[in-house]
Structure 1
Amino acid sequence: MTTGARLAGRLRRAREECGLSQQQVADALGLPRTSLSKMEGGTRNVSTLELTKLIDLYGFPASYFLASDDEPRPEDMIHVLRRAVPEMARDPEVGHAVRFGATLCREGASLRRLLGGAVEPAVPNYAARTASASDAIRQGEAIAREERRRLGLGDTPVSNMADLVDDQGIWTAATHLPDSLSGLFVNHAAAGFAIMVNRRHGPVRQRFAYAHEYAHALFDRSRTVVTSRRDNASERGETRANAFAAAFIMPPGGVAERLRRIGKGRPSRHTRAFFDVANDVVTGAVVRERPGSQRITYADVGEIARHFKVGFEAALSRLKSLKHTSAAESAALLDQRDIGNRYIRLLGEPGRTGARDADGHRHLRAQIVRLVIEAFRQEAISRGRLLEIGRKLAIDDGELLDLAWAARPY
């Protein structure tokens, strides 16, 4: 087999593996289809520029096309990913994105080796068997606490989940994936650890996906690829990774502290201790909170969501699991998720900036909006005062009234 014929066969196989037609590839190269047909038939030479474009288009390493062995195959990592993500063959965009990401990870690992570094990151291995779903949840939450301790995070929010994972030596990328696939974890000798999340999903969902896939790196590294899909969400490994992500992003102490700072989460009656200097003793007094003041509203859920940069439903689920809201309260608040998301959008969604921050007062506005809605809910201010403050914040009267009335007791 001549060099030209060998290259021609590889070009044809690469295109077929990518699920692309000759016309699609010819259009990408800016050539007539007949020219590509001749390339794949071995009757037309391939220029260096054309080969470079084809390598980028197909996402295969250059060695696949240029190696001297008779029947080279794509790297094993590509094969494994193709089995785990069958959509790669059906959707050219997904196929190219995943192959390209895998190729970059392989190149990065090669550079690490050249520089004397380790390909596999030095993150702990918490692999353990799970006997039940409740056992999986306990494991996920326990390791989330341990990882926060190891990383020195305390109870503070993680500012950027992708950066944190990257700092652990794990390749990270937000790339084109099927909508049903939120992310995947890869452990392969050619690349080390890699996490890909779905860039079509919003920043809040991507943040959770990075934490979820990080859990797979901690628990499931014996598997070459772990995919997180809608149809495998009930598996114990996925349950454990979800529990880890929720506890890692929203630690119990951090949630309790945030509720305290916004004036919620205290019992309706509690004792405050103080030192009686005249009698040289510690004494206390029973304090009664304003009736209804401690009820958690959709706006409070929204505040937790914004503080920890998660979605409304994720924040509500965490509040319920930590027993800050009862089953009945959680169900009622879930019914208000639409108004809750409107509230979050008004104040600025986590991970995004908008026109309302043009003068740099976004955080101040958010604080005032929360307080004015709570004051109206507790009937501490009138409707007129609510709207007066809202106009100073440049909030539409109707929008603010909708948000304020929704926080009132049912």
Structure 2
Amino acid sequence: MASETSWQEIGARLGEARRAANLTQGEVAARVGLERTAMSKIETGARKIGALELTRLADVLGMPVDHFLVAPPPVLSNRQPLLEEDESVATKSAFTVQACLGAWLRDVRQLLEIGVLTQEPLWSYPHEVADFNSYRLAAQWVRHRMNVPTEPLGSMVEVCAAAGQWPLVTDIPGDGASLIDGDVAASVISLHGDPGRRRATAAHELGHMVMGDAYSNDLGVHASIEERERAIEVFAAELLLPVSVFSVAWSSTGGSRDQLIRLAARYRVSWSLALGQAEQAGVIDSAGRGALMANKPTKAEFMQALGWTPEPDLSSVRVAPKYADAVISAFRVGVISRARAAEMMHGQIRLEDLPLEGEANT
């Protein structure tokens, strides 16, 4: 299961997960049929554990077994709610997201190792980064690489995959998280929230990857985490709805709320993001933004602006089509089971949607 030297690391991870779950050693031990002293020794690495014991512990702590066996790569971004009830809730949320992100990374790597999935080179902004405007220029750089300088972007899972980052839309607390592990980048995006928020989260996590090392030193060593996150938000907003769009779409008469609704709907962004970009473009001022923010469009207004046929994005679509094709290919050649294929699709399709094992190659 693990080498002799790794028991201390496994025990430490078990202890962290136990504290995140707000459980005592005695409570965990009782649930898996151990003495409290045995649990104490496990957490310090003084006592080895078998596969069955570890499986039971993982189940009690609500974590996959791999979370304790494999050292997780460092998480680049983890956007959690600003307000938590207490520290244990925040810690538990962070553990849940980290475990989900690590499991997702292992799914991607499995397909890469099988040879049914190809990893695209990670896009990394090649120019000097000095201020917030540099993040806006970086978003424009991404759009030009995709040959869509001002047009609405399609599904964000495909945008991220094209740039080398594998996104998963799933049920996690907070908004999203991402990491870079060597030549592979992955992100998880919460199913919760409206579609505009999910698209903004996907763009945000892509921004962390694209900015790469620049993110750690672009705004100066004294920049706070909040300032750096705001810089990534500038990237995300510009990627989804470029400021230059307003000079073309806005009427000479100063525009209107209806025009803003059409832009927000067409580019599939939240009302607040559309207003922020409109102010950045200079077509509204801060007072006008405040007034419009207080007069949010209804769902009917957005749907009417789209001709009543909104495109599905980040709700019915959970994984990138390229990844989904790779899962089916692995299943058809018999490398993964039917149950594993359904699991790796993360809700994109159900087990009953797949052919039976013996029918996969017919």
Out of 187, 200, 223, the position equivalent to 1:195 is 187
> Partners in 2 of 1:88 and 1:129 — Cα distance?
40
Task: For residue 75 of structure 1, report the CA deviation from its aligned partner.
Answer: 0.8
Query: Which range moves more in the overlay, 147-156 or 17-26?
Result: 17-26
| Other-structure match for 1:324 | 283
**Residues 145, 10 of structure 1: CA spacing in aligned structure 2 closer, same or farther, 3 A cutoff?**
closer
Q: Deviations over 1:338-374 (max 9, x none)?
A: 22x2x2333247xxxxxxxxxxx884479xxxxxxxx
Q: How does 1:134-145 map to 2 (within 5 A)?
A: 136-137=132-133, 139-145=134-140
Out of 60, 63, 70, the position equivalent to 1:58 is 63
Structure of greater Rg: 1
Q: Deviations over 1:5-36 (max 9, x none)?
A: 99997775443211235579979x9x846458
Out of 158, 162, 168, the position equivalent to 1:163 is 158
| Other-structure match for 1:148 | 143
Q: Deviations over 1:280-313 (max 9, x none)?
A: xxxxxxxxxxxxxx24333332222222111222
> Partners in 2 of 1:127 and 1:320 — Cα distance?
28
Q: TM (normalized to structure 2)?
A: 0.61
Out of 205, 209, 216, the position equivalent to 2:197 is 205
- Could you tell me which amino acid in structure 1 is paired with residue 212 of structure 2? D
**Residues 295, 217 of structure 1: CA spacing in aligned structure 2 closer, same or farther, 3 A cutoff?**
same
Q: Deviations over 1:323-349 (max 9, x none)?
A: 333x3xx4134223122x2x2333247
Q: Does the aligned pair in 1 maintain the 2:32–2:56 contact within 8 Å?
A: no
Q: Does the aligned pair in 1 maintain the 2:97–2:177 contact within 8 Å?
A: no
Q: How does 1:297-336 map to 2 (within 5 A)?
A: 297-325=256-284, 327=285, 330-336=286-292
- Could you tell me which amino acid in structure 2 is paired with residue 188 of structure 1? D
**Residues 200, 26 of structure 1: CA spacing in aligned structure 2 closer, same or farther, 3 A cutoff?**
farther
Query: Which range moves more in the overlay, 248-257 or 312-321?
Result: 248-257
**Residues 364, 171 of structure 1: CA spacing in aligned structure 2 closer, same or farther, 3 A cutoff?**
closer
Q: State the secondary structure of the residue aligned to 2:142.
A: helix
Task: For residue 165 of structure 1, report the CA deviation from its aligned partner.
Answer: 0.4
- Report sequence identity in percent: 14
> Partners in 2 of 1:114 and 1:192 — Cα distance?
15
Q: Deviations over 1:44-67 (max 9, x none)?
A: x98866644644632352782xxx
Q: Does the aligned pair in 2 maintain the 1:176–1:198 contact within 8 Å?
A: yes
- Could you tell me which amino acid in structure 2 is paired with residue 157 of structure 1? P
> Partners in 1 of 2:115 and 2:301 — Cα distance?
47
> Partners in 2 of 1:321 and 1:112 — Cα distance?
42
> Partners in 2 of 1:173 and 1:210 — Cα distance?
9
> Partners in 1 of 2:268 and 2:26 — Cα distance?
41
RMSD of aligned alpha carbons: 4.7
The answer to whether the aligner puts 1:216 opposite 2:208 as a matched pair is yes
Task: For residue 168 of structure 1, report the CA deviation from its aligned partner.
Answer: 3.0
- Could you tell me which amino acid in structure 1 is paired with residue 237 of structure 2? A
> Partners in 1 of 2:94 and 2:26 — Cα distance?
16
Which ranges in structure 1 are unaligned for 5 or more consecutive residues?
65-73, 260-264, 267-293, 350-360, 367-410
Q: Does the aligned pair in 1 maintain the 2:243–2:280 contact within 8 Å?
A: no
| Other-structure match for 2:343 | none
The answer to whether the aligner puts 1:344 opposite 2:298 as a matched pair is yes
**Residues 363, 103 of structure 1: CA spacing in aligned structure 2 closer, same or farther, 3 A cutoff?**
closer
**Residues 319, 63 of structure 1: CA spacing in aligned structure 2 closer, same or farther, 3 A cutoff?**
closer
Q: How does 1:58-137 map to 2 (within 5 A)?
A: 58-61=63-66, 64=69, 74-77=70-73, 80-81=74-75, 90-115=90-115, 121-131=120-130, 133=131, 136-137=132-133
**Residues 36, 188 of structure 1: CA spacing in aligned structure 2 closer, same or farther, 3 A cutoff?**
farther
> Partners in 1 of 2:268 and 2:76 — Cα distance?
33
- Could you tell me which amino acid in structure 2 is paired with residue 122 of structure 1? P
**Residues 163, 124 of structure 1: CA spacing in aligned structure 2 closer, same or farther, 3 A cutoff?**
closer
Q: Does the aligned pair in 2 maintain the 1:313–1:337 contact within 8 Å?
A: yes
**Residues 304, 334 of structure 1: CA spacing in aligned structure 2 closer, same or farther, 3 A cutoff?**
farther
> Partners in 2 of 1:256 and 1:16 — Cα distance?
56
> Partners in 2 of 1:82 and 1:129 — Cα distance?
20
**Residues 8, 317 of structure 1: CA spacing in aligned structure 2 closer, same or farther, 3 A cutoff?**
closer
Q: Does the aligned pair in 1 maintain the 2:75–2:180 contact within 8 Å?
A: no
Which ranges in structure 2 are unaligned for 5 or more consecutive residues?
43-47, 81-86, 219-223, 310-362
Q: Does the aligned pair in 1 maintain the 2:64–2:99 contact within 8 Å?
A: yes
Task: For residue 95 of structure 1, report the CA deviation from its aligned partner.
Answer: 0.8
| Other-structure match for 2:241 | 250
Q: Does the aligned pair in 2 maintain the 1:22–1:33 contact within 8 Å?
A: no
Q: Deviations over 1:114-143 (max 9, x none)?
A: 429765x41432244433x3xx31x23333
Q: Whose RCO is larger (CA < 8 A, sep 6+)?
A: 2
- Could you tell me which amino acid in structure 2 is paired with residue 109 of structure 1? R
Q: Does the aligned pair in 1 maintain the 2:172–2:189 contact within 8 Å?
A: yes
| Other-structure match for 2:221 | none
Q: State the secondary structure of the residue aligned to 1:233.
A: helix
Q: How does 1:25-36 map to 2 (within 5 A)?
A: 32=31, 34-35=33-34
Q: State the secondary structure of the residue aligned to 2:294.
A: helix
**Residues 54, 10 of structure 1: CA spacing in aligned structure 2 closer, same or farther, 3 A cutoff?**
farther
Task: For residue 107 of structure 1, report the CA deviation from its aligned partner.
Answer: 4.2
Q: Does the aligned pair in 1 maintain the 2:243–2:281 contact within 8 Å?
A: yes
Q: Deviations over 1:242-274 (max 9, x none)?
A: 333222211345444444xxxxx12xxxxxxxx
> Partners in 2 of 1:196 and 1:129 — Cα distance?
28
